[in-house]
Amino acid sequence: MSISRPVAPRDYAAAILAEPSLDRRQQLMERCPAEWRAQVEEHVRSAFTKITAYRQHRAGRAEQAREKPQAAPRREARNSVIHHTCSAPEVGNAAIARLRAVIGKGAA
């Protein structure tokens, strides 16, 4: 990437970071205006660590995606609206009878 007329130190740093080769990045850093050099170096240093971490993160995620098999499609849902389980009224009635018996014994 060629830098024709840098507008700000951050733009200059972005152009340096966009270069794929280390030699070209070093050449651009040497051609940096003296009054911007410290600020451009700081921008490049902080952004390069972020870019490196992001690339490592993406590579790790891609590796995980390659390792894991795809999830199996879900079968039928156990308790769906269409396939609801049948209730057992005798179980519920027995529970209510036990509760009524407890309440009745406590009130008497």
2-37 pLDDT per residue, tens? 556 667 888 889 989 888 888 998 999 999 888 989
Asked whether the CA dihedral 31, 44, 52, 3 is positive or negative, the reply is negative
Q: Is pLDDT at 108 greater than 70 in this prediction? A: no
d(CA 14, CA 43): 8
The Cα-based distances of 65 to 14, 51, 53, 54, 72 in angstroms read: 31, 21, 18, 16, 15
Return the domain boundaries, the chain: 9-67
Q: Is pLDDT at 79 greater than 60 in this prediction? A: no
| Predicted local confidence at residue 2, as pLDDT | 54
The pLDDT confidence band at residue 90, using thresholds 50, 70 and 90, is confident
| Predicted local confidence at residue 54, as pLDDT | 92
